[in-house]
Amino acid sequence: MKVTYYGHSCFGVEVKGKHLLFDPFISPNPLAMGIKMENIKADYILLSHAHQDHVADAHDIAKRTGAMLISNFEICMYYAKKGINTFRPMNIGGSVSLPGFTVQSVNAIHSSSFDDGTYGGNPGGFVVCTDEGNFYYAGDTALTYDMKLIGESHKIAFAMLPIGDNFTMGTAEAIKATEFIKCRNIIAMHYDTFDLIKIDKAKTAHAFEKKNKEITFMEIGETKDFFELKYDEHIMQ
Ligand code: NI
Ligand code: MN
């Protein structure tokens, strides 16, 4: 699996030649100025919740690529009214099997409304299962005991967790989350984009290290191959 970071909470994950794009917020993000929007591939666009810093570019990328929008019912209907006609509405707890992967909608503790005030349903995260390994994309969330269910039900090879604090969990809670999901290989998201979520990366990395966990801060525009990860190595005893 190839993972590309587009800044903030936006990742592209390539699974079996299909491109999954999570929470596109690129064109309004000054830190992601180097990303060329027209080069972003998407067969599926997964949206965790309706906040602008997660959906800003969803409409335009869906229009250009014809990608299927995967999100909660309310968000799918919002974009359906704006002319996006390929979508898969879900809600928390449900799973969908698509070519090459299965995706489950899981709980997130947060809020969800569009910039124009439209209700955006419940916020969520996604667990994606493939025969190359499974991963968890948490969206914006607090630490929650529900994460234990993810660790009990799936072998998670790696997880994207928010660590910027203030609007989501911070470093200490993210470390606790690694125990709940039984995954020690974490990719950081939702930090540094705004003043309120600026973090000290060295301090965070050190805190993870002290607990024998790993956190990866990807460069914006960087692609990493997670295919070679033997995910057994990342399951804690
Ligand atoms: Ni949010
Ligand atoms: Mn956010």
Residue 230 has pLDDT above 90, yes or no: no
Residue 134 has pLDDT above 70, yes or no: yes
pTM beyond 0.85: the answer is yes
Q: Strands of 124-130's sheet, edge to edge?
A: 95-98, 101-107, 124-130, 133-137, 156-162, 185-189, 214-216
Q: Where are the domains of the chain?
A: 2-236
Please tell me the distance between residue 228's alpha carbon and the centre of ligand 1 in angstroms. Answer: 32
pLDDT range class, residue 184, cuts 50, 70, 90: confident
Q: How far apart are CA 126 and CA 144, in angstroms?
A: 14
Please tell me the distance between residue 54's alpha carbon and the centre of ligand 2 in angstroms. Answer: 6
Q: Are 45 and 58 a contacting pair, CB within 8 Å?
A: yes
Q: What is the mean pLDDT of the chain?
A: 95
* Ligand number, closest to the Cα atom of 111: 1
Q: Are 48 and 137 a contacting pair, CB within 8 Å?
A: yes
Residue 231 has pLDDT above 50, yes or no: no
Please tell me the distance between residue 207's alpha carbon and the centre of ligand 1 in angstroms. Answer: 25
Assign a CATH topology to domain 2-236.
Metallo-beta-lactamase; Chain A (3.60.15)
Residue 232 has pLDDT above 60, yes or no: no
- Mean pLDDT of all residues in 77-105: 97
Q: Are 58 and 69 a contacting pair, CB within 8 Å?
A: yes
* Ligand number, closest to the Cα atom of 113: 1
* Bridging pattern class, strands 133-137 and 124-130: antiparallel
Please tell me the distance between residue 141's alpha carbon and the centre of ligand 2 in angstroms. Answer: 9
* Ligand number, closest to the Cα atom of 8: 2
* Ligand number, closest to the Cα atom of 25: 2
Please tell me the distance between residue 230's alpha carbon and the centre of ligand 1 in angstroms. Answer: 32
DSSP strands (E only) in 91-208: 95-98, 101-107, 124-130, 133-137, 156-162, 185-189
Percent of the chain residues topping a pLDDT of 70: 95
Please tell me the distance between residue 197's alpha carbon and the centre of ligand 1 in angstroms. Answer: 12
Q: Which residues contact 177 (CB under 8 A, 6 or more apart)?
A: 138, 143, 147, 159, 161, 169
Phi, psi angle pair for 155, to nearest 5°: -85, 110
Please tell me the distance between residue 190's alpha carbon and the centre of ligand 2 in angstroms. Answer: 7
* Ligand number, closest to the Cα atom of 9: 2
Please tell me the distance between residue 89's alpha carbon and the centre of ligand 2 in angstroms. Answer: 21
Q: How far apart are CA 194 and CA 15, in angstroms?
A: 30
Express each pLDDT in 36-73 by its tens digit: 999 999 999 999 999 999 999 999 999 999 999 999 99
Please tell me the distance between residue 164's alpha carbon and the centre of ligand 2 in angstroms. Answer: 10
| Residues, CB within 5 angstroms of ligand 1 (ion) | 51, 140
Q: Which residues contact 220 (CB under 8 A, 6 or more apart)?
A: 5, 6, 7, 31, 32, 34, 35
Q: Strands of 44-46's sheet, edge to edge?
A: 87-90, 68-72, 44-46, 18-22, 11-15, 2-5, 223-225
